[in-house]
Amino acid sequence: MTKYEDEIVFNKAVTFTVPVTLPANTGLVKRYVSNAVATSGLTGTATVSYDLTGEPTNYIPVAAYILITGTPTGDTQVVDTLTCTVGPTGTPGLYTIGNIFDMTGRVKASEPGPRGSDVLKLFVTAKLTDSAANLNLITGLTSIRFVLHYLDIVSET
């Protein structure tokens, strides 16, 4: 086997025709992007939840954020906070994003510790000074995606 110890710079894409073997106890950061949750017609109560699909299991979060399409706005006399959280039904605040009013694009989320096989949901909540408000009063929000960069938990030996 040829061993290269000098730095090699590739200026174009590289395709490997054989498997690449990583050193023991090494992992690659993977990315999960949820389905786009269409939120253009928010209705009803103060909180609504959406099922996410294809989320990883047994992982260590590295970074998490949401991608907002559109800019959520509303009458601040009746709704002054629009929060977004991601988590299982029993722990909706596993990943907290905070107030997303007047935001668009990437918004950072908090990351919890290692996770098992949680079924994740995205929760959107409208509030007025810590009281429940109606989601019907939100405009401009088209969709939300949850993005998670993570490491697989394969072995700790």
pLDDT 10s digits, 82-113: 888 998 888 788 888 888 888 889 999 987 77
Q: Position 51: which residue type? A: D
**Considering the chain, what is the average pLDDT of its residues?**
83
**DSSP letter (8 states) at residue 115:** B
Q: What is the pLDDT of residues 32-46, one digit of tens each?
A: 999 988 876 677 778
Evaluate whether 142 touches 98 at the Cβ level (below 8 Å). Answer: no
Contacts of residue 51, defined as CB under 8 A and 6 or more positions apart, other chains included, come to 119, 121
- Residue 95 included in any domain: yes
For residue 144, give its domain range.
31-152
Tell me if 67 is assigned to some domain: yes
Could you give the number of structural domains in the chain?
1
- CATH number of the domain within which 68 lies: 2.60.120
Q: Assess if residue 22 is contained within a domain.
A: no
**In this structure, is residue 71 part of a structural domain?**
yes
The pTM (predicted TM-score) of the whole model is 0.77
d(CA 84, CA 73): 14
